[in-house]
Structures are given as structure tokens and as C-alpha cells.
Amino acid sequence: MASPSPARTADTEKITINLGFVDLGRIDLLVREGFYASRSDLIRTAIRAQLDRHDTAVAPTIIRDDFVMGLRDVTLAELQGLKAANQMLDLRVIGLARFARDIPAELVTQTIRTIEVLGTLQADAGVKSALDACRPRKGL
């Protein structure tokens, strides 16, 4: 009997989009003709091209707002260190913010002043609930 594999974080997230029939047909034609391996391949390529097109426009915002791009792991040791130093963390991530499973919700409220994640947040339900209080309020 095989042993269960350790928990692994997917490096992609599934989204749903609605397309018109003609657009979908054109995508399928490009796939059939070998321009792309799949519908997903074409859509990913098109999205990346649009994101690249706007890079210079959003780069100043990324720098100004001090965003971390990519994966940001938050560990128990990091938060314990912040608490011991009587410091608070302002966390801004474009990509994936991942909180270790051993972090108690109380420690989050004691060490994280603000959090903004544009992308995906992975954390236990209790930690997510505690982080909700740290999110900037819209319209303020």
C-alpha cells in the first residue's frame, strides 16, 4: 500500500471565464491547427501578453506600495520574532501568500497590522478569519 503524499501547494489556480461561441470556436481552430497545445495554453499566453503590455504602467505602484511578487511564506518563527521585538508586519503580496499551518490565529492579530493579497491567500480558516481584520477597508 502506498503511503499518502505530503500536502503540496498547486502553483496555479483554476478560474472560470465565459466566452462567446465564435471566440471559443476560433480558439479551438488555433488548437486544432497546432498553434497552441490546448485552450488553456492559448488563454494563459493571451493573459501573459496583456500583463506584459501593462508592466511599465503598474511597476511604479508595485514599488510605491512595497508589494512582494511571487510566493511569500509566513512562518511561526517569523511571527514569534515580530512579537518578541514588539513589531507589526504590513504585508502586501502579488501572487501567493501562504501561512504555515502551525500559526495560531491569536499570533496573527498580535503581529500583522495590515495585509493585502492580490492573488491567492492560503491559510487555515482561523488564521484567515483573523486576517480579515487586518485588511484595508475599501473606500477609506
Domain-located, residue 6: no
CB atoms < 10 A from the CB of 121, how many? 18
Same domain, 78 and 129: yes
Domain-located, residue 109: yes
Q: Beta strand 68-74 with 112-122: parallel, antiparallel or unpaired?
A: unpaired
Q: How confident is the model at residue 138 (pLDDT cuts 50, 70, 90)?
A: low
Q: Compute the distance between CA of residue 76 and CA of residue 74 in angstroms, rounded to an integer.
A: 7
Q: Is pLDDT of 6 > 50?
A: no
Structural domain that includes position 47: 21-55
Same domain, 27 and 83: no
Cell of 37: 497545445
Specify the number of domains making up the chain: 2
Give tens-digit pLDDT for 72-84. Answer: 999 999 999 999 9
What value does the CA radius of gyration of the chain take, rounded to a whole number of Å?
20
Domain-located, residue 5: no
Q: How confident is the model at residue 11 (pLDDT cuts 50, 70, 90)?
A: confident
pLDDT of residue 2: 45
Cell of 100: 504555515
Q: Is pLDDT of 3 > 90?
A: no
Domain-located, residue 12: no
Q: Which residue matches cell numbers 502579488?
A: 94
Same domain, 84 and 129: yes
Same domain, 31 and 84: no
Q: Compute the distance between CA of residue 140 and CA of residue 134 in angstroms, rounded to an integer.
A: 14
How much is the pTM? 0.77
Same domain, 85 and 33: no
Q: How far apart are the first and last CA of the chain?
A: 56
Give tens-digit pLDDT for 38-50. Answer: 999 999 999 999 9
